[in-house]
Structure 1
């Protein structure tokens, strides 16, 4: 799940974290006109959930900041699945390019 990490913040509560600016695709994200901050990654997560993993919808919440993406909740399996989706995009320039292109074509706003 690198560069993401899943931590248990208290018994039965989990946070999926990504430090902004630490992925292999940061330069590409900027080239595509976005800032690879926590808000961008929330947008990427929301778009992935809506297009590739609808079963995850509503199973966790988001709380990003400029320097970090965060999703949290009590459903560890859902956060693990989201982490796998995001890790794949964070490590693959072609996949990131397709995600941004598809999102923009659909009128999606990353809010970064």
Structure 2
């Protein structure tokens, strides 16, 4: 809270500085004041649309704010879990996020990664956003890992793909397999040909 007061004391100087808004949002986020964080991150993204970190935190704030009982859920340091840390090193640019309620999310800040795959169906309305990634992942899950269909949930936003579950083994298995599939362009194009526009 002291950090926020400090930032607000120089609000006029920081009004047009995306980093200032990001830091305010970051402070609010970790105080679990998600609505305030959303406002700050929105302003940061508006001032600097290329800032992928601000976009990612904006979507995370929205997700946290929309969940019932979100005041008791916070992000934990995955470095405390060797399994998560080991897998995360293998799935870049995807990231793992562990939550204090026991759930684990797999997220991707969309934009450049494999954008060319989505360009093959731009005339149909696909843009390569988080929803499109969700549609692609749903096809992959149904066809390649059907045993996880009832275990994993997708919660994409425009700027971020997100999958989550309380089953650690399931999310790690999916993360590794989906990341490997993403590196096989012919497989990706085949799967994407059956994706349904959300």
What TM-score results when the alignment is normalised by the length of structure 1? 0.82
Alpha-carbon RMSD across the aligned residues, in angstroms, is 1.7
Cross-structure match for 2:118: 29
Cross-structure match for 2:178: 86
**Between structures 1 and 2, the one with greater helix share:** 2
Which of 74, 85, 98 is the equivalent residue of 1:8? Answer: 98
Cross-structure match for 2:167: 75
- Between Structure 1 and Structure 2, how many residues are aligned? 105
Contact 2:139-2:192 at 8 Å conserved across structures: no
Instruction: Identify the structure with bigger relative contact order (alpha carbons < 8 Å, sequence gap 6+).
Output: 1
Structure number with bigger Rg:
2
Would the alpha carbon gap of residues 35 and 89 (structure 1) be closer, same or farther in structure 2, given more than 3 Å must change?
Answer: farther
Structure 1 distance, partners of 2:117, 2:164, is 27
**Between structures 1 and 2, the one with greater strand share:** 1
Runs of 4+ in 1 over 4 A off after TM superposition: none
Is there any run of 5+ residues in structure 2 with no aligned partner, and where? Answer: 1-90
Contact 2:110-2:128 at 8 Å conserved across structures: yes
Is there any run of 5+ residues in structure 1 with no aligned partner, and where? Answer: none
Deviation larger for 88-97 or 31-40: 88-97
Contact 2:106-2:163 at 8 Å conserved across structures: yes
Structure 1 distance, partners of 2:174, 2:136, is 11
Structure 2 distance, partners of 1:74, 1:109, is 26
